[in-house]
Amino acid sequence: MTGTLQSEREALREQVIAWRRYLHQHPELSFQEHETAAFVEARLREMPNLTVTCPTPTSVLATLKGQAGPGRTVLLRADMDALPIQEETGLAFASQNPGVMHACGHDGHTAMLLGAAQVLSAHPENLHGEVRFIFQHAEESFPGGAQQVVDAGIMDGVDVVVGTHLMSPIPTRVVVLREGPLLAAPDGFEITLRGKGGHGANPHETVDPVVLAAQVILAFQTIISRQRDPLEPAVLSVTQIHGGTAHNVIPDSVTLGGTVRTFDAELREWIPRQMERLLRGITDAYGASYTLDYRQGYRALHNDPATTGLLREVVRDTLGSKVTLLEGKPNMGGEDFSAYLTKAPGTFIIIGAGNVEEGITAPHHHPRFTIDERALEYGVELYVAAARRLTQPTT
């Protein structure tokens, strides 16, 4: 919002909040964001100097050509999808769609990027190069919307990409940046262990898949703790066990499910090979069999050091004493923003949106999740300032 009058700043702040509340009332699940995309497209077409297209049925791209001279092309990204959660916030603008809720801040991300588009499109004379605004569908569900819009060509010619995420565990007025690894690659697996069922009183006549499951779970815990450098971050968690129907029946099969989280590409490929090796050995020893369905999710997200350094300057120059700038730590969560980073360097910015005094403390993906709406203004300012700084021609 740099360069606008105070009255325009206040009007924009209220407009962004209004957009966020409308989106919060009308959430849509991944790959179903038809009304959300239509709303965003309509708002963008009301703004001057933008070329608006839809690279997929539920995503929207706006392009703005700067008039200050040649420069770089910057992509700014916001995600738009909601989650299958019944809202329990009690807010006046709570979800009107039963069982669907914006419980991860994507309504705020979309509103912030709309605000940035409004500011930048009104003043192209202050902008070099080109800015693309991608309102992306389906961050919450693999294979993810980011890869789909990348495959549609929106990254062609892009020099740098910037994304943001509002975080309720972090207080408002805090911005977090980190060079290098920030978010992990979130992979998933499902295993079926097949033995021979029978009466619980006669286990010697069975091949008990419940016992096999216990052996497998314990063995898996040695893959990282006993076979890798302890300073190398990774997670292997078995989070589901399904098997059996009665207390006196040994089932024929047991199903396990879980997740693997890594930052390193080589380690990501190595872990499922070790899982397979242990499964083969344990089931062979007991005369059982198995199937392993291992699904790779999003890539790990690594922030570009040079872009992150420039954005630190942007935060200091734009927000100054209004926020505290902190160095982030790697997190085992995942984000499909990493798909953009296969095509151009970029940075993912974390913006604090929690407020203990106002009771805004619920974690993400929780029925009572919400954000401190004062954080929206900081997000708009960061998008705008990042676009103006990063589109400037390199010397």
User: Could you list the active site residues?
Assistant: 81, 139
Omega before residue 143 within 30° of 0, cis: yes
C-alpha span between 120 and 132 (Å, rounded): 11
Give strand pairing partners of 133. 62, 76
Site of tokens 């995420």: 165
Site of tokens 């242990």: 278
CA 237 to chain centre: 20
Buried b (16+ CB within 10 A) or exposed e, 239-259: eeeebbeeeeebbbbbbbebb
Output the DSSP codes for 216-247: HHHHHHHHHHTTS-TTS-EEEEEEEEE--SST
Token reading at 21: 């509340």
C-alpha span between 375 and 354 (Å, rounded): 9
CA 297 to chain centre: 12
Q: Is 355 left (phi over 0), alpha (psi -120 to 50) or beta?
A: beta
Residue 237 to residues 186, 221, 230, 241: CA-CA distances in angstroms? 11, 8, 16, 12
Site of tokens 């900081």: 378
Instruction: Provide the H-helix boundaries in the chain.
Output: 6-25, 34-45, 106-122, 145-151, 209-225, 265-286, 305-319, 374-390
Do 342 and 63 form a contact (C-beta atoms < 8 A)?
no
Do 214 and 332 form a contact (C-beta atoms < 8 A)?
no
Which letter does DSSP use for residue 124 in this model? Answer: G
Give strand pairing partners of 163. 77, 348
C-alpha span between 121 and 101 (Å, rounded): 30
Polymer length of the chain = 395
CB hemisphere CA count around 81 (13 angstroms)? 20
